[in-house]
């Protein structure tokens, strides 16, 4: 997958957020779009940064996950 492609779930999350907030509140349209963009960005971050299976991931694709929970951090925490 290219790095600049959005996942389809992020679009659905943004539409549900904008639609739900639009129906439940009387916020101006630009705040609805801001909320949709924030939710979409958070969902995209989670999709890209959390590997689906911890034992079967590429450290180059998930650099933040590898920095926090990678094989190197497990071996250093076991020796302490």
What is the secondary structure of 7-39 as a DSSP string?
Answer: PHHHHHHHHHHHHHHHHH----HHHHHHHHHHH
Q: Are residues 23 and 44 in the same domain?
A: yes
What's the pTM value of the predicted model, to 2 decimals?
Answer: 0.58
Residues 23 and 42 in one domain: yes
**Are residues 39 and 7 part of one domain?**
yes
Residue 27 shares a structural domain with residue 6: yes
- Phi, psi angles (nearest 5°) of residue 74: -70, -40
Indicate whether 45 and 72 sit together in one domain: no
Q: Are 42 and 12 part of one and the same domain?
A: yes
Whether residue 74 is found in the same domain as residue 38: no
Q: How many domains does the chain have?
A: 2
Domain range for 27: 1-49
Average pLDDT over residues 39-54: 78
pLDDT confidence tier of residue 63, bands split at 50, 70 and 90: confident
């Amino acid at each position: 997958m290219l790095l600049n492609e959005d996942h389809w779930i992020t679009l659905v999350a943004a539409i549900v957020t904008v639609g739900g907030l639009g129906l439940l509140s009387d916020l101006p349209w630009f705040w609805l779009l801001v909320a949709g963009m924030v939710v979409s960005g958070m969902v995209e971050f989670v999709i890209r940064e959390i590997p689906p299976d911890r034992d079967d991931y590429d450290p180059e694709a998930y650099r933040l996950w590898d920095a926090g929970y990678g094989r190197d951090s497990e071996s250093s925490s076991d020796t302490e």
